[in-house]
Amino acid sequence: MQLFYNPGLTETTEHFLFPKEESKHIVKVLRKQTGDIMHITNGKGWLFTAEITIPNLKSCEAVIIGKELKPQPNYNLHLAVAPTKMNDRYEWFLEKATEIGIQSITPIICDHSERKVIKAERFEKILQSAMKQSLSCYLPSLHPAESFKSFVGKQQHGDLFIAHCEETDKKSLKNEIQPNTDITVLIGPEGDFSTSEIKLAIENGFKPVALGNTRLRTETAAIVACHSVAFSNEI
């Protein structure tokens, strides 16, 4: 099955037009014709089955012939991850986390961050592409980048964790995860969180955790955390 994304679709939509670029791809590349079946999600859990009525290169028309609301995960994972120095590493994290299963992502700017500007529009496209590739009907929420201090100072829900590299008393994240629970995990930049940031996070209810016995890159640590939560919530 090939999945398309159209955020404008709702459960009451009966027919719609694909955008110009997608229409060209559908008609010219995929060679779809009148009567061919398409699958589309709005990224909010709905999977729509559509039938092409007018395979126009500039505005391909389709009619909805079926719809299904896919069940939501029984947990909510929010990863707050510092942007990496090399942008492609953060993009890799976004892609793989979407494939594994994640609900929310916030880039956080830390004391040791070398990159403090993100390309939100490009990140959104990567999330959309990964969602379609993995045949998921839920698009992760990408929140605006904000400072570490601002993020940890906000009221958070569920279990809160900060993964850092300092040699202090830390629990293993995999042993701390409770299934069916909302979870927020902080992942720092290449230079790790500063001592003051770790202290501030703990003061705001975040528990220090380890992700293994080796030192991980930022993007690797984020994926390990993502997979640990997803694995712990498997039925």
- Structure confidence by residue, pLDDT tens digits, 146-183: 999 999 999 888 999 999 988 888 999 999 999 999 99
pLDDT value, residue 169: 86
- pLDDT band at 235, cuts 50/70/90? low
Residues 6+ apart with CB under 8 A from 106: 78, 79, 80, 81, 143, 144, 145, 146, 151
DSSP class of residue 45? S
For the whole prediction, is pTM greater than 0.75?
Answer: yes
The span from the CA of 8 to the CA of 75, in Å, is 26
pLDDT value, residue 234: 83
What is the per-residue pLDDT across 76-95, written as a single tens digit (0 to 9) for each?
A: 999 999 999 999 999 999 99
Give me the half-sphere count of Cα atoms (radius 13 Å) on the Cβ side of residue 16. Answer: 25
Q: Is the pLDDT of residue 200 over 80?
A: yes
pLDDT value, residue 214: 87
Q: Residue 65: how many CB atoms within 10 A of its CB?
A: 12
